[in-house]
Amino acid sequence: MTTPGQNAPDGAWQYGDRMGQDMAGMSQAAVIEMMTAAPRADLMKAVTGFNAAHGRLQSSAADLADGQNALRGRLDLLQGITAHGTSVMSKNWKVDVLNTWKTLPFDYQVGPATRVGFTSNALVLKGGGLWRVDVHAAVSGYTIGLGSRINPVTGFLEFYNMFREIKPAYMIEIRDAAGALLSARSFDATPEPFYTEGGPPQQGLTGPYTTNYQTTFVIDRPDDTTADPNAWVFVRLLLRVEPSPSGILNDTLATIHGGTQMCGLTAVRWSVDTDHLAYAPTVPDGGEL
């Protein structure tokens, strides 16, 4: 306690230099407004920035210039190759796939193909044997979060946006015509970490991050099933983007890049003299090595 009108003790909380006497006549609502106006303004600014990055799904044309395009009909160049086909995405896509696997639209054939068909999002394998699938993919983006802290100068709670890297992952998925899963392989593509505040990071920090993956598997089918759609097998590439930990709320803003330079989904059959298929998504614990 101190005598009214005297100096406040060290560390005492006060308004002005008269220990709150300047608030005489102010209503409770006015006092609350004075105390919360600044942090509320910070919160609204940060939330606006957060919402501006949330829920975007757009597309733009991708570069499809490639010398392979002129060879689509040249099946003579595939002599000795029993099956082959390549596709790319014809557009760049803004993706909102937070923590959810999303099938990527590989919809554009590149070069000649034999015993491989194409849909809006898959390669269609029209024969049995030992196959290999290769993936080339590039993603860019960042995590935006809503953070809070005590301002060391004012002592008030303030809100702000924080920006960090995204955590993308891919999955090559192989399913039969009925939708049953034959094989799957997942791959993580976490980029180098970064952290910044105030505004979206520069392009050099956000990517694009280019990665390559492959998997091999066996299809228990005859050599040629071109005329039997029920025996076809479909290969798709899926993307999942997770945010890096960034405050009390977080979301991702990501772009998956299309075009012949930035992506590719290729299937090649290596052999037709195999007849074994094994899918084991989980295995038992082998103990300590």
Residue ranges covered by each domain of the chain: 24-271
Question: In the prediction, which pLDDT does 51 show?
Answer: 52
> Which of 236, 241, 251 is CA-nearest to residue 190?
241
Cα–Cα distance between 135 and 237 in angstroms, integer?
Answer: 8
% pLDDT > 70, the chain: 67
Q: What mean pLDDT value characterizes the chain?
A: 78
At 135, which amino acid appears? V
Q: What is the pTM of this model?
A: 0.69
Cα–Cα distance between 98 and 205 in angstroms, integer?
Answer: 20
Count Cβ atoms within 10 A of the Cβ of residue 111 and give its class: 0-12 exposed, 13-18 middle, 19 or more buried: buried
Residue 9 structure tokens: 């003790």
Cα–Cα distance between 53 and 134 in angstroms, integer?
Answer: 32
State pLDDT tens for residues 179-230.
999 999 999 987 788 888 877 787 767 888 899 999 999 998 888 889 999 9
CATH topology of domain 24-271: Jelly Rolls (2.60.120)
